[in-house]
Structure 1
């Protein structure tokens, strides 16, 4: 049985044993995804396909299983921030007009 493919980018999922630790968001249109490293509190790798980004992160986990990483969508306006809960977007919303 072959590994699943990203339905958008046709990238094969090779996360294997690390799939549970690295759940993938769904790929959509022009959304970019990144590997969020909790220790660095930032993205350490980014790409157009969540599966490709997850595969990269699985390689890191294979070398160092103690690293805490997550696959997250990048904010389209502030790519250094995750789309969900972007601090800069939140701050922009709070500024008086």
Structure 2
């Protein structure tokens, strides 16, 4: 098995190793912040400008707590405490008007 390639945008080496399937990564893009979302904590516990960097951090957390429910998600640029795809502050008004 060959090593995973580094981030194409930031050139950060992917060090997730065998835990890569436990912490899949979104495609990294410039200008987006990516965070480690911890379901138990109910929020982001780490954020960086690179999805691979956040993924590496997540597997370190999994080594300490194998039962943690972690994922890497894009951070909302306007509400850093929420994931971009499901930001309650950005999309909440749309739901109320339906």
Q: Moved runs in structure 1, 4+ residues, more than 6 A?
A: none
> How many correspondences in the alignment?
96
Q: Secondary structure at the match of 1:71?
A: strand
> RMSD of the TM alignment (CA)?
1.5
Alpha-carbon contact 2:3-2:17 (below 8 Å) kept: no
The answer to which structure has the higher helix fraction is 2
Q: Which residue of 1 aligns with 2:8?
A: 7
Distance apart, 1:26 and its partner CA: 0.6
Residues 59 and 25 of structure 1, relative CA distance in 2, 3 Å threshold: same
CA distance in 1 between partners of 2:4 and 2:71 (Å): 21
TM-score, with normalisation over the residues of structure 1?
A: 0.91
Q: Which residue of 1 aligns with 2:53?
A: 52
2:5 is the counterpart of 1:28: no
TM-score, with normalisation over the residues of structure 2?
A: 0.90
Deviations 1:26-59 (A, max 9, x none): 1112010000000111000000000000001111
User: Mind listing any 5+ residue stretches in structure 2 that lack a counterpart?
Assistant: none
